[in-house]
Amino acid sequence: MENRKTIKTLLVSAAVLLVAALLVFVINDSLDKKPVETQKYCVAMGTVITEKIYSDKDASDVCDGVEKTIKNLEGVISRRDESSVIYSLNKNGKVKTDEKTADVISRCGEIYSDCGGAFDITVGKLTSMWNIGEENARVPEEKEIKDALTYVDGSLVKTNQGAVMLGEGQKVDLGAVGKGLACDYVRDYLETTPIKSAVISVGGSVLLFGDSEKDKKWSVAVRDPSGESDEYMGVLSLSDCCVSTSGDYERVLESDGKKYHHILDPKTGYPSDSGLKSVTIVCDSGFLSDALSTACFVLGVKEGEKLLRKYNAEAVFIDNENRVYVTDGLISSFSLTSEGYTLAGE
């Protein structure tokens, strides 16, 4: 019921949110000769999905296919949908599923190991206690956090030929990878269609499918983490990749004059405090861009950069002092557009 109410609210405000909901958004497509742009907005995964498909004719059918692809995935990985694989996994501690879904869990385990546990899908008990971004969000008692922390250990999750098993009492939450994963599923779907060029934005993750016409890049704005939802502090010039942002402004709980954001440090059980306001990751895979944005947000700049080298991913980090760190492979694609920020090292 509450969920339905939230969805309704999202739909009602969708028009306002078209740009506002996007943490990274496409400013323009720099096309000389514009092909037909088919647009669609819908709500899934608790966020507004923006689809822009470019082709020589109306592509409403493909837009519908994209929406269906995302909603199907949501039906598998949602924690709240009682018919989902993840709901069943959390309820029974084990589930037999398809290899593709089990592989997602197993890849989460690899990232967990590579980042020393900063990214850990077994934060499920903690995230449902805090519930930041939902109506019943609250600051849990210290004792509750301590107790929930005893169930957080990504190394206890096992997969074997489509079977997934959790450690005793554990609950998983795929919120840190779902939207990026949706970008990968949409790319797989678009590859079965004649479409060559599209921009699909799923909350904090964006799929840039193909190139903008004539090999021109898409201009992707990086949101100003301290500004309004339609303000940006820099622009990335990119094509054929995925971009995900994790930021401390996305979901916030205010209690007793203090602000708490939704990205938890699995070591403390509290919102992570690594000195960052946001991290934007660019790489080939939506899943990875999303997982790494969460991991790097918890790790901070130095450790985050080390992790990114391993995965051949690039990033824009923004710290609490408004310093901007851009990894070497992305510097030539990034332009700072706001005076309130300085590029680190300059």
What is the contact surface with Mg ion in residues (CB under 5 A)? 176, 290, 293-294
51 binds, options Mg ion, ligand AMP, none, Cβ within 5 to 8 A by partner type: none
Q: Does residue 119 bind ligand AMP (CB under 6 A)? A: yes
Q: Does residue 201 bind ligand AMP (CB under 6 A)? A: no
| Measured distance CA(323)–CA(321) in Å, rounded | 6
Neighbours of 287 (CB within 10 A): 25
Nearer to ligand AMP (CB atom), residue 40 or residue 107: 107
Q: Does residue 51 bind ligand AMP (CB under 6 A)? A: no
Nearer to ligand AMP (CB atom), residue 232 or residue 260: 260
Counting residues that bind ligand AMP (by CB under 6 A) gives: 20
Q: Least distance in Å: CB of 299 to ligand AMP?
A: 10
Q: Does residue 176 bind ligand AMP (CB under 6 A)? A: yes
| Measured distance CA(313)–CA(238) in Å, rounded | 13
Nearer to Mg ion (CB atom), residue 208 or residue 279: 279
Region from 37-45, 85-93, 113-121, 336-344 binding ligand AMP, contact rule CB under 6 A: 113-121
Q: Does residue 261 bind ligand AMP (CB under 6 A)? A: no
Q: Does residue 262 bind ligand AMP (CB under 6 A)? A: yes
Q: Using CB under 6 A, which residues numbered 268 to 297 contact ligand AMP?
A: 290, 293-294, 297
**Hey, what are 200's tokens?**
């699909």
| Measured distance CA(7)–CA(276) in Å, rounded | 30
Q: Does residue 121 bind ligand AMP (CB under 6 A)? A: yes
**Hey, what are 301's tokens?**
């700049």
Region from 65-73, 181-189, 256-264, 315-323 binding ligand AMP, contact rule CB under 6 A: 256-264
- 3-class secondary structure per residue, 113-181: HHCCCCCCHHHHHHHHHHCCCCCCCCCCCHHHHHHHHCCCCHHHCEEECCEEECCCCCCCCCCCCHHHH
DSSP for 167-227, written as a single string:
PTT-----TTTHHHHHHHHHHHHHTTSS--EEEEEETTEEEEESPBGGGBPEEEEEE-TTS
74 close to 155: Cβ distance less than 8 angstroms: no
Nearer to ligand AMP (CB atom), residue 109 or residue 175: 175
Q: Does residue 127 bind ligand AMP (CB under 6 A)? A: yes
| Measured distance CA(254)–CA(258) in Å, rounded | 6
| Measured distance CA(59)–CA(219) in Å, rounded | 22
The residues of the shown chain that bind ligand AMP, judged by CB under 6 A, are 119-121, 123, 127, 173, 175-176, 204, 246, 250, 262-264, 266, 290, 293-294, 297-298
